[in-house]
Amino acid sequence: MLGTYYYHEIIRRTIVSFGTLFNNIHIKKRDDSGTVIDDIKVPLAYAPMQKFLAKIQQQAELSKPVAITLPRMSFEMTGIAYDPTRKTTVTKTFKAVAADGSGVRQVYHPVPYNINFQLAAFCKLNDDALQITEQILPYFQPSFNLTVDLVSSIGEKKDIPVVLNSINMQDDYEGDFTSRRSLIYTFDFTAKTYLFGPIADSSDGLIRKVQVDMYTNTDQTIAKREQRYTAVPDPIDANPEDDFGFSETFEFFQDSKTYSPTKQEDI
C-alpha cells in the first residue's frame, strides 16, 4: 500500500474553502447623520499572524519598509490531528462512478481528520474590529457546514463542519505617541474533514447477472425449486453511465437440484 502515489489535494481544497468563508467582509464608515461615506472590503491573505505584526511595527529587516494598511485579515493552518470520534470501519469500501464516466471506482472509507485554522483580524479602530466580528460570529453555532469537493475524480462532495473554538483580543497600544496601535482579534477554528486513500478501478467487478431460484417452501432442505429468474443488462457490456435496459428470462423446473454458486452449476 505505502509507496503508491496518489494526491487528491484534499487538505489544499479544505484550506482554500475555509478562506472563501471570509473573503467578502466589508467595513463601512458613516458620518454623523448615518450616511455611508466609505465602504472597504477587508483584504484577506494566507499568512502567519506574526508576519503582519512585523509589518505593522515596521521592522527594519523586512523588505518593505512601509507599514501595511489596516484593516486587514490573515489566516493559516495551525495543525492537523486524527479524530477518533468519527472513526469508521477501516476495511469497508464503497463504489462510485468516475466523474468523467470512464467506469466505476472502488474507494476505502475516508479517514476523519481535524484541521485547525487561525483567522486574525488587524484593525486600527475598535469599531472596525467589531464590525468584522459581528459579520462572522452569527454563522457559527458553534459550527458552519462547508461543502467541499474532496475528490473530484469521483465527484465526492462532503459537508465539512467548521467549528469556532475560541476568540481572543489583543491590544498592543502601549508606549509613546509615535507607536502604532495593533488591535488584533484572533479566531480559532477546527474543520472536520476526511482524507481518502488511493482509488482503484473496479470496472471489471460490475455485477452483470442476477439469478434468483424460487422454491415451494422456505426450507430449502425439503423444498423443490420451481422457477428461476435471470436478469442481465442489455447490452451485456454496458457501463453504469450508459443508457441500457435489461433482458429477463424465466425458467421452470421439476427436479430436486440446487444451484451451486461455487461450481456455478445445478447439482
What whole-number distance in Å separates Cα of residue 209 and Cα of residue 211?
A: 7
Looking at residues 150-177, what average pLDDT do you find? 82
Q: Is the pLDDT score of 128 beyond 60?
A: yes
pLDDT for 225 equals 78
Phi, psi (degrees; rounded to nearest 5) at 56: -65, -40
Name, in order, each residue with C-beta under 8 angstroms of 241's C-beta and a sequence gap of 6 or more: 97, 101
At the top level of CATH, the class of 10-201 is alpha beta
Domain segments of the chain: what residues? 10-201, 207-266
Least reliable range by pLDDT among 43-52, 62-71, 152-161: 62-71
Per the structure block, which three cell numbers stand in for 20? 472563501
Split at pLDDT 50, 70, 90, the class of 153 is: confident
pLDDT for 62 equals 45
